[in-house]
Amino acid sequence: MSPAEGSVSEELVSIIMPACNCGAFIGEAIRSVLAQNYDNWELLVVDDASSDDTQSVVETFARKDPRIRYTRLPVNSGPAAARNKAMEEAKGRYFAFLDCDDLWFPEKLSRQLGFMKDKGFRFTCTAYTKIDEKGDDLGRLIRPSPRLDHEGLLRVCPGNSTVIFDALELGRFRIPPIRKRNDYALWLQVIKKAGHLYGIHEPLGSHRVRKGALSANKASLVWYHWKIYREMEAQTFLKSCYLVLYWVIATAFRLR
């Protein structure tokens, strides 16, 4: 570990992982956490009433490593509820986010936390690659902007599984109960406290593109973007139209 990484070695990281019918992929996601060269973490898996073998897969890992904590919601309530439950139970200074089908590279936590500590940043994200359902590289690298303020974040959403924020400095947040883009709604809350979101251009994880995932149907996301811009962020009608159109064009040209 470098000096920068060692300087945050005592800080506990709470990893927030909602899960729903992800038994085929969640084991690989958990193994990517276990492979981290930064050891001081807790993984909070909140199962949103899965009907597959998600529970048995997670519990197999949890029995072997007490840092992995499993909770099951009694009824399917959506990823926002699962993330909120995990954040309520989190004990760490830093909150990191990993979707149950995504992967981290082994140096993800050490590099990102070292970056935050060195620069005094409280809210960061990283570049990431895209993989398919089999884990094969799709040849796409998504790089974040070096720095975004609230206005910039209205146009660009970071990869959920790349984000870390300092909960000790910024406090805790509650995600609104929407089924899709609830992570984006959270980041827009966080940036109002943090001031800026800082991006690392080095890819430190992979986003898995799945046909059945909630975010796979881009057309269905338009309404959720509108709801966030118009209702949650209280943007004007014209500004909300512009932001939705901006997102549609960026998505169509594979800029995100």
- For 136-190, the DSSP string reads -EEEEEEPPPSEE-HHHHTT-PPPGGG-EEEHHHH------S-SSSHHHHHHHHH
CA dihedral 167, 29, 254, 232 (to 10 degrees): -30
Same domain, 138 and 199: yes
Q: Is residue 202 part of a domain?
A: yes
> Do residues 213 and 135 lie in contact, with contact meaning Cβ atoms separated by under 8 Å?
no
Same domain, 54 and 177: yes
Q: Would you place residue 210 in the very low, low, confident or very high pLDDT band (cuts 50, 70, 90)?
A: confident
Q: Would you place residue 251 in the very low, low, confident or very high pLDDT band (cuts 50, 70, 90)?
A: confident
> Do residues 61 and 32 lie in contact, with contact meaning Cβ atoms separated by under 8 Å?
no
Which residue do the tokens 């019918």 mark? 21
Q: Would you place residue 254 in the very low, low, confident or very high pLDDT band (cuts 50, 70, 90)?
A: low
Six-digit token pair at 212? 């059945």
Q: Is residue 84 part of a domain?
A: yes
Helices (H), the chain: 3-6, 26-34, 54-64, 79-89, 108-119, 150-153, 167-170, 182-194, 218-226, 237-252
Same domain, 246 and 192: no
Same domain, 207 and 237: no
pLDDT of residue 218: 66
Same domain, 30 and 72: yes
Share of the chain above pLDDT 70, in %: 92
Share of the chain above pLDDT 90, in %: 86
Number of domains in the chain: 2
- Mean pLDDT value across residues 211-229: 75
Residue 20 has pLDDT above 90, yes or no: yes
CATH number where 63 lies: 3.90.550.10
Q: Would you place residue 5 in the very low, low, confident or very high pLDDT band (cuts 50, 70, 90)?
A: very low
Predicted confidence (pLDDT) per residue in 171-204, tens digit:
999 999 888 999 999 999 999 999 999 999 999 9
pLDDT of residue 105: 98
Rounded mean pLDDT of the chain?
92
Same domain, 207 and 232: no
Q: Is residue 2 part of a domain?
A: no
Same domain, 228 and 183: no
Q: Is residue 3 part of a domain?
A: no
User: Where in the sequence is the domain holding 100, given as residue range(s)?
Assistant: 10-211
37-57 residues labelled b (16+ CB within 10 A) or e (exposed): ebebbbbbbbbbebeeebbeb
Same domain, 16 and 140: yes
Which residues make beta-bridge pairs with 128?
142
φ/ψ (deg, to 5) at 183:
-65, -40
Same domain, 204 and 225: no
Least confident of 8-17, 22-31, 84-93: 8-17
pLDDT of residue 1: 36
pLDDT of residue 217: 57
